[in-house]
A and B are shown apart, each in its own frame.
Chain A
Amino acid sequence: MGDGSKAKASESTDPDSGVLDAAEKTWRREVLEPALAERGERQDEFVTQQMHWPVKDLYTPGDLAAIGFDYQKDVGFPGQYPYTRGTNPAGYRQDLWTMLQVTGFGTATDSAERWSKMLDQGLNGFIIEYDLPTTNGYDSDHPLAEGEVARAGTAIDTLADMEQALELPWDKLQHLSSVCNAPQPVNLAMILAALEKRDIDPSSFTLQMSNAILIEYTCVGRYIYPPKHGLRIATDCIEYTIRNHSNWIPISVVSAQLYAARATPVQELAFGFAIAMEYLDATLARGFEIDEVAPYWSFITGLEMDFFEAIAKLRAYRKIWARLMRERYGAKTEEALRLRLMSSPGTTGLTLQQPLNNIARLGIQTLACALGGGAYAITTPLHDEAHALPSEEAVRVGIAVQNIVAHETGVADTVDPLAGSYLLESMTRRMEDEVFAEIEKIDAMGGALAAIESGYFQKELAHSQRERHREIEDGTRKQIGVNHLVQEDEKRSIEMFKLGQEAETRQVARLARVRADRDEELVAKTLERVREAATGDANLVPPILEAVKAYATQGEICDVMRDVFGVYHPDSLTSGV
């Protein structure tokens, strides 16, 4: 009996479903029920961690038949529509994913030193995180910047800092990501000007900009101007980059931030895609065709601990994008239909308690990233991130974790090894359906910008945040070291990265020197050009580039735009708190 049903299972998903159904019923009656007769299952119900979808005891070909699963239509071949099995035809057999690490601290000099070391250790690229004054568009000597300068990332006030930051072993660098949203055009201009000064060919590497301002209004909070102006500025960067640096990535829908704000996978994908389409519509309005611009869109996501949900999420990402591009926008080229997706283990699953446990979590999540297939870059956060800013040891372990998954497990040796899993394909389909339903709901509100302006995204995320916290507190969601296997007398002793006031003092002094040495008349003149562009509808990047070259500070350039666009203050409803 067992052999018979197995042969049928491997053959087809529907014609013999009657036979299979009967076999399963017999198995339940004659095998499973007696096995559970004395002791039932260990829980009354099993659900996925994030979506709370019921998890059945067993998945069979019958589950695929029930959803009308069609291999060619639902999964297809790697590198082909709908890209469920990955965007690269050869999976990781050709190239492993790019191994990245998010870092940035101190002054530009401190960071460049650390980044150079990381490249020497075998990373192909890295993600630059800036300090809070930089991402909020303030100079290091602004009163609000006090205590934050060079703390959570690198401090960049002027072109002089960026020149210093980009003193790197360029032969080893393939990929550079720059995480700067509200002041993105200034950041882009500084990178361009610094490359020019250093005589580095911009086409020798990929620059990926986050430029993710709509995410800032939704959940991160580092916004400056009202949302519609934020969107215009982001679109200026996209347009400029596509027209001038066609191998760069001018937009990343950092849906990882949604995930970090406790979005469920369905919220993450739906809000993320709605936001991506808002940028896309704005860019198309600048006179592009969909097939010209869609290839530039990229997503950065983070994974949760629920293994199959995480893998289903990555697969659904690629499939939904392909469908949206083809069905809604009429995209035709492979490049437009293929989603550029970077994934990383997420920090929300990391715990402050028993921090070394986080290494295990990172390993499992990195494995999910790899099995989710075709993520072209994986970043590993650091096991002590829940604690404070990452230590050097944590950086080393992060790199090691990625290499262990790549070289010791064999998961990278065949393309998309989990395809066809009864469970996973069922889950991927459910995710796809629910995301499309939520996208339609957002459409009815008028799209992502409208959903942000009305506070819908923020309210929904606040609900998820509270829900998640409640589950951890009442133990519905087990977290080791937090609500399970708690070590009452835990003494934390993990190494923590320290950076004192000294970096801030150095940075403020450096800024003063730059201000003293520059041509003030030229600064004023170039800033006036920025104002003219902001007031009208000319692209802001070229005049900002001129101002940057004159060593205008980031704060000065942003202030001109604050003047023109105004400053955003969400009310209690639109903040979600």
Chain B
Amino acid sequence: MAERKIRVLLAKLGLDSHTVGVTVIAGSLRDAGMEVIYTGLRQTPDMVVQAAIQEDVDVVGISSLSGAQMQHIPKVLDRLREEEADDKLVVVGGVIPDEDAEALRAAGVDKVFTMGARTGDIADYIREWWTERER
């Protein structure tokens, strides 16, 4: 069990097509020994939740750079709860103004990483959460 790789779904919601961040994160999480599944572009909240369940991921990472984070991300959280899949860690990264970051945390996002966050910190955060959960 301890040897199982942490499985992470990386998602892009709606029409946001900026992929540099998600490309970098995918690479660094793989380097950190995690399994990364990428949804591709133009996903709806429901598509992301279905993918998270089907792929049996531990972590859902959402990248948002278009400004529509408040539109889509709370819906992902609602859908996860409805599907009783809200034991997954939900992290968000991208261009997120402070007040949106606060609102997202209030809505149930575990952690928001804004531009400039260190990839190592993201991997560490996920790993610590995992270790804590497995304990």
Does B5 make an interface contact (CB < 8 A)? Answer: no
Whether A132 pairs with B40 at a CB distance below 8 angstroms is no
Shortest Cβ distance from A215 into chain B, in angstroms? 12
Residues of B within 8 A of A509 (CB): none
A151 in contact with B20 given A386-B115, A492-B98 (CB within 8 Å): no
Does A484 make an interface contact (CB < 8 A)? Answer: no
Whether A138 pairs with B119 at a CB distance below 8 angstroms is no
Kindly identify which residue among A219, A466, A473 contacts B120, using a CB–CB cutoff of 8 Å: A473
Stretch in contact with the other chain, from A140-148, A312-320, A413-421: A140-148
Kindly identify which residue among B22, B95, B118 contacts A388, using a CB–CB cutoff of 8 Å: B95
Q: How far is the CA of A471 from the CA of B20 in the complex (A)?
A: 15
Whether A151 pairs with B17 at a CB distance below 8 angstroms is no
Q: How far is the CA of A473 from the CA of B41 in the complex (A)?
A: 27
Stretch in contact with the other chain, from B49-57, B62-70, B77-85, B127-135: B62-70
Stretch in contact with the other chain, from A18-26, A266-274, A567-575: A567-575
Whether A151 pairs with B10 at a CB distance below 8 angstroms is no
Within 8 A of B (CB), among A372-411: 386-389
Whether A222 pairs with B17 at a CB distance below 8 angstroms is yes
A572 in contact with B38 given A147-B71, A387-B95 (CB within 8 Å): yes
Does B27 make an interface contact (CB < 8 A)? Answer: yes
Shortest Cβ distance from B47 into chain A, in angstroms? 11
Whether A482 pairs with B66 at a CB distance below 8 angstroms is no
Does A353 make an interface contact (CB < 8 A)? Answer: yes
Residues of A within 8 A of B67 (CB): 148, 151-152, 388-389
Residues of A within 8 A of B98 (CB): 492
Shortest Cβ distance from A217 into chain B, in angstroms? 11
Whether B24 pairs with A575 at a CB distance below 8 angstroms is no
Within 8 A of B (CB), among A232-265: 260-262
Whether A577 pairs with B16 at a CB distance below 8 angstroms is no
Which chain A residue lies CB-closest to B22? A577
Residues of B within 8 A of A386 (CB): 95, 115
Does B15 make an interface contact (CB < 8 A)? Answer: yes
Does A227 make an interface contact (CB < 8 A)? Answer: no
Does A469 make an interface contact (CB < 8 A)? Answer: yes
Whether B116 pairs with A482 at a CB distance below 8 angstroms is yes
- The tally of residues in A whose CB lies under 8 Å from a CB in B reads 40
Summed over the interface, the residue pairs from A and B with CB atoms below 8 Å come to a total of: 95
Q: How far is the CA of A486 from the CA of B20 in the complex (A)?
A: 23
A547-577 vs B, Cβ < 8 Å mask (1 yes, 0 no) = 0000000000000000000000110100111
Within 8 A of A (CB), among B20-57: 20, 22-24, 26-28, 38, 40-42, 44
Does A352 make an interface contact (CB < 8 A)? Answer: yes
Whether B23 pairs with A462 at a CB distance below 8 angstroms is yes
Whether A262 pairs with B14 at a CB distance below 8 angstroms is no
Does A437 make an interface contact (CB < 8 A)? Answer: no
Kindly identify which residue among A146, A222, A351, A469 contacts B14, using a CB–CB cutoff of 8 Å: A146
Shortest Cβ distance from B98 into chain A, in angstroms? 7
Does A122 make an interface contact (CB < 8 A)? Answer: no
Which chain B residue lies CB-closest to A463? B27
Q: How far is the CA of A469 from the CA of B21 in the complex (A)?
A: 9
B87-116 vs A, Cβ < 8 Å mask (1 yes, 0 no) = 000000001011000000000000000111
Residues of B within 8 A of A61 (CB): none
Shortest Cβ distance from B44 into chain A, in angstroms? 7
Residues of B within 8 A of A330 (CB): none
Residues of B within 8 A of A469 (CB): 24, 28, 119
Chain A residues proximal to chain B, CB less than 8 Å: 132-133, 136, 138, 143-148, 151-152, 219-222, 260-262, 351-353, 386-389, 462, 465-466, 469, 473, 482, 492, 496, 569-570, 572, 575-577
The contact sample of 20 A-B pairs, CB cut-off 8 A, is: A136-B42, A138-B15, A143-B44, A144-B14, A144-B15, A148-B14, A148-B66, A148-B67, A151-B66, A151-B67, A220-B17, A221-B18, A352-B95, A352-B115, A386-B115, A387-B95, A389-B67, A466-B27, A496-B97, A577-B26
Chain B residues proximal to chain A, CB less than 8 Å: 10, 14-20, 22-24, 26-28, 38, 40-42, 44, 66-68, 70-72, 95, 97-98, 114-116, 118-120
Q: Which 8 pairs between the two chains have the least Cβ-Cβ distance? A: A147-B71, A221-B17, A132-B15, A147-B68, A466-B27, A352-B115, A469-B24, A577-B38
